[in-house]
Amino acid sequence: MARGPLHRLFGSGRPRGEKRPGEKNSGQKKPGEKPPGVARWVSDRLAQLSYAVLVEPTWLEVNRLQIELPGVELERPFRVVQISDLHYHGKTPQAYLKHIVQQVNSVEPDLVALTGDYIHGGGRYIRLAAEWLGQLRARHGVLAVLGNHDHAIRASWSPRLHRNLNGRVSAALAAHGIRVLHNELVVIEHGGERFQVSGVDDLWSRQCRPAQALAALDEGCPHIMLAHHPLTIHQIEGRRCDLMLSGHTHGGQVHSERYGSVTLSKRMRHYAAGLYTFGPQRLYVNKGVGYGWRIRYNRRPEIAVFDFAGSPTEPERGTVGESDLAGE
Ligand SMILES: [Fe+2]
């Protein structure tokens, strides 16, 4: 990103006083140079805030990743498109939603995977959210899991704010042809291979049962898992997981080079956004398409397109918690 007012707010990421190579007297005023005035300071911050509120929250990013499956032969790649954290509410821009549907359907997915938090603030917009999600098209259909907001749970320790909200969300999605996975696994035949797709309820819902979902898992076939909360990856140690698709963090929504993703807890900053590897298991944390508070900075909303392709090689052993996409 070019240097400008945004850099002046959030900084360049270099420690104070450290100079770029060849940079001279950057911390010293030139003779006759005036310090920036209050008016300039205020206008810079207004520009930054305007960008973060008006531009970035609906500036959709399409991230494409190829996932290699060692020892698998495929006649053609298996394309999965992930959408997460819609957070549908009364002010969700309709033109933005239309654009997302066009983007998803235009890449002709084999499967659309939805990873939770379809609604925001209770059940008022369940029908509209389900109608919108019902427009997504994929060769093998649309699979979904629920997030904490769909269970009416705002924090790991908090009670449910609405009774049976999850049941209403599941029913509305099912009415639009979307299969919601509640701790279960389905098999999709594609390109001469059996893809296993499992889905668990949200980690905070007290109904997340990975052992139940993976009871019938065939360790010899590719496995994609849907789980709203990224930390679910630590509930399936030892089981085959070629890719877990998660969301929940929104990438922190606001990310500064100097301070990082300040809205996330210290632990969750290690799972903020992007692709992570945990030995042979992989985790993708999607930044989501929606928001509660309308603000995003350096964390554009995204849809993620995964092409699963066969590979004759052994899997690479990655670093625990290493993000390949977002530079965490
Ligand atoms: Fe969430």
CA of 310 to the centre of ligand 1 (A): 32
How many other C-beta atoms are found inside a 10 Å radius of the C-beta of residue 162? 13
Letter for the amino acid at 176?
Answer: H
Number of residues in the chain: 328
- CATH no. for residue 218? 3.60.21.10
- Domain membership of residue 47 (yes or no) is no
- For residue 74, pLDDT over 80 is answered with yes
- Domain membership of residue 2 (yes or no) is no
- Domain membership of residue 232 (yes or no) is yes
CA of 115 to the centre of ligand 1 (A): 9
Kindly state the average pLDDT of the residues 116-144.
Answer: 96
CA of 312 to the centre of ligand 1 (A): 37
- Domain membership of residue 164 (yes or no) is yes
Which distant-in-sequence residues (6+ apart) come within 8 Å of 173 by Cβ?
114, 118, 130, 133, 144, 180
Can you give the pLDDT at residue 166?
95
Q: Do residues 10 and 1 lie in contact, with contact meaning Cβ atoms separated by under 8 Å?
A: no
- What is the domain count for the chain? 1
- Domain membership of residue 29 (yes or no) is no
Domain enclosing residue 221, as ranges: 68-323
pLDDT interval class at 32 (50, 70, 90): low
pLDDT interval class at 71 (50, 70, 90): confident
Kindly state the average pLDDT of the residues 13-31.
Answer: 52
- Domain membership of residue 31 (yes or no) is no
Q: Could you tell me which residue, 283 or 155, shows the higher pLDDT?
A: 283
pTM here? 0.85
CA of 117 to the centre of ligand 1 (A): 6
- Domain membership of residue 57 (yes or no) is no
- For residue 235, pLDDT over 80 is answered with yes
CA of 146 to the centre of ligand 1 (A): 9
CA of 116 to the centre of ligand 1 (A): 7
What is the residue-averaged pLDDT of the chain?
87
How wide is the angle at C-alpha 224 spanned by C-alphas 219 and 230, nearest 5°?
Answer: 115
